[in-house]
Structure 1
Amino acid sequence: MPSTSFPPLSFATCDLCDAYKNDSTGDFRVLPPVFRDFGAESRFAGTVVTVKCFEDNTLVKAAVDSPGEGRVLVVDGGASLRRALVGGNLGAAAARNGWAGVVVNGCVRDVVELALCQTGIRALAPMPLPTEKRNEGQRDVAVQIQGVWVRPGDWLYADEDGMVVSATALHA
Structure 2
Amino acid sequence: MDILPDLFDQHPSQLQLVSSHWEHYGALCYFSGPAVTVNCFEDNSRIKELLASPGEGRILVVNGQGSTQRALIGDMIAQSGIDNNWGGVIIYGAIRDVHTLSQMPIGIKALCACPIRSQREGKGEIEQEIVVDRTLIKPGNYIYADLNGVAMSEHKLELA
Structure 2 letter corresponding to 1:50: T
Query: Aligned residues, how many?
Result: 159
Query: What's the CA shift for 1:132?
Result: 1.1
> In the alignment, is residue 98 of structure 1 matched against residue 89 of structure 2?
no
Segments of 4+ in structure 1 off by > 3 A? none
Query: What's the CA shift for 1:33?
Result: 4.4
- Please name the residue that 1:75 is paired with: 62
- Please name the residue that 1:20 is paired with: 11
- Please name the residue that 1:161 is paired with: 148
TM-score, normalised with respect to structure 2:
0.95
Structure 1 unmatched runs, 5+: 1-8
* Match among 31, 34, 39 for residue 21 of structure 2: 34
Q: Find the aligned partners of 1:14 and 1:111 in 2 and give their Cα distance.
A: 26
RMSD across aligned positions (CA): 1.3
Secondary structure in 2 aligned to 1:85? coil
TM-score, normalised with respect to structure 1:
0.89
Query: What's the CA shift for 1:63?
Result: 0.6
8 Å CA contact retained: 2:58, 2:88 = yes
Secondary structure in 1 aligned to 2:46? helix
Secondary structure in 2 aligned to 1:84? coil
Query: What's the CA shift for 1:159?
Result: 1.4
Query: What's the CA shift for 1:170?
Result: 0.4
Q: Find the aligned partners of 2:136 and 2:123 in 1 and give their Cα distance.
A: 21
Q: Find the aligned partners of 1:112 and 1:130 in 2 and give their Cα distance.
A: 16
